[in-house]
Structure 1
Amino acid sequence: MARARDKDVVDLLIDQHNEIKDLFTRVVSAGGTRRHELFRDLVRLLTAHEAAEEEIVHPMARRKIDRGDRVIRERLREEREAKHALAELVRLGPDHPEFERKCAALAEIVIAHATQEETEEFPAMRETFPAEQLRKMAGAVRTAEAMAPTRPHPAAGESALANMLAGPPLGIVDRIQDALRSRRASRGG
């Protein structure tokens, strides 16, 4: 098994797709505090993953792969739909009576999107980009994810430019809010 730092961007994203699928299953089957924790992990991973794809992966694929513009336009449409559904789920929260149904609907959208990437976009990237470039893109994705927001901001847009301009400031604000919530929770109020 390749070490995480040796993986190329396709392997990295597929691993994240698998982790996201697993988290959806675990969120729905968990209860109470554990459901809240797992849902928070899912939201952070999904948000960072999509931001990095929009900032790093999709622009490269759009320019270089055959039919890239059509493929990426469709992926961005799917991501926009998922962001809005995720934002609604965050607003409702894991204790809402509609949470499980809406979470299952979001899982369906996200899994279909991941499948499309894995069957259409990623194989084309492997055919088009040299292995070293795919490894470098993995590093760029990890960097983008580290600066990405921790929850969805659908109004920020899906373009690389929108993610580069809005992502880091939103990420800082989200992390400050996360720290304040955590501090309040640890104090019991």
Structure 2
Amino acid sequence: MTTSIKQDVLDLLTDQHHEIKALFGQLARAQGADKRELFERLVRLLAIHESAEEIVVHPTARRRIAQGEKVVANREHEEDQAKRELAALYDMGVEHPDFDARLASLAEAVIQHATREELEEFSALRQNASPEQLRLMAGAVRAAEAMAPTRPHPHSGESATANLVAGPPMALFDRVRDGVRDWRQSHHEQD
């Protein structure tokens, strides 16, 4: 994974796509506590990743690429569907008998989405934004990720405005829930 300060936004997000794909693969083989931990990592990464894209990348793509509105609307629709399914899987839990089949279906949809995003949106942005703009956008994505919710919130909307308004309070709530969950797990393991 590229972590240089000079990394541009498209390389950063593509690296995250690779990490997401790897987590799906690991999850398909995992059991028990490992499966739960990997799923929590996946949920967090997807929620943060999509929020940052919605705040930083999609608005720029709308303005800078040919048919930007159509391309972004299609990606946002896919992201909304994935958020809803991810939230349902989170509520269901990794032990549910339908979890694996639904996770496999989500993995396929997310991987197809990432591929379309890279081919349609990212490649067009690379052609229509300067290298410096793309590097600056990477910094903006990192800042957006720092304040993004750690769980999908499908009813909050997928626009940049919705993420900027609702994101910080949801992120705070999510991080408190994460802390309580982690504390419970660590204390339960000691019993």
The answer, yes or no, to whether TM exceeds 0.5 is yes
Question: Contact 2:2 / 2:11 at 8 angstroms: preserved in 1?
Answer: no
Does the residue aligned with 1:5 lie in a helix, a strand or coil?
coil
Letter of the 2:109 counterpart: I
Which residue type is aligned with residue 43 of structure 2? V
Secondary structure in structure 2 of the residue aligned to 1:66? coil
- Cα offset, 1:3, TM superposition: 4.1
Gaps of 5+ in 1: none
Asked whether the equivalents of residues 43 and 86 of structure 2 are also in contact (C-alpha less than 8 Å), the reply is yes
**For residues 139 and 23 of structure 1, do their structure 2 counterparts lie closer, same or farther at Cα, with a shift above 3 Å needed?**
same
Contact 2:44 2:151 in 1 (8 A): yes
CA distance in 1, matches of 2:146, 2:27: 23
Counterpart of 1:116, as a letter, is R
Looking at structure 1, the residues matched to 3 and 78 of structure 2 have their Cα atoms a distance apart, in angstroms, of 31
SS at match of 2:170: helix
- Corresponding residue for 2:72? 72
Q: Deviations over 1:31-85 (max 9, x none)?
A: 0111111110000000000000011100010011111011001011000110001
- Give the whole-Å Cα distance in 1 for the aligned partners of 2:16 and 2:148: 15
2:100 paired residue number: 100
Shift of 1:175: 0.3
Q: Give the C-alpha shift of residue 142 in structure 1.
A: 0.9
Cα distance, 1:2 vs structure 2: 5.3
CA deviation string 1:72-107 (max 9, x = no partner): 010110001100010111011111111110000100
Which residue number in structure 1 is paired with residue 153 of structure 2?
Answer: 153
Q: Is the 8 A contact 2:21 2:111 kept in 1?
A: yes
- Supply the RMSD in Å over aligned alpha carbons: 1.2
Partners of 1:175 and 1:120 in 2: how far apart? 33
Separation of aligned partners in 1, 2:183 and 2:33: 16
Aligned ranges 1:17-166 → 2 under 5 Å: 17-166=17-166
Q: Distance in 2 between matches of 1:175 and 1:92?
A: 20
1:183 paired with 2:176, answer no
Secondary structure of the residue aligned to 2:97 is: coil
| CA distance, structure 2, for counterparts of residue 10 and residue 177 of structure 1 | 31
Whole-Å Cα distance in 1 between the matches of residues 180 and 35 of structure 2?
Answer: 20
Identity of paired residues, percent?
Answer: 54
Compute the displacement of 1:4 (Å).
2.9
User: Deviation per CA, 1:106-136, whole angstroms, max 9, x where unpaired?
Assistant: 0011011101011110110001000000001
Q: How many correspondences in the alignment?
A: 189
Query: Residue 5 of structure 2 aligns to a residue in which SS?
Result: helix
State the TM-score, normalizing by the size of structure 2: 0.96
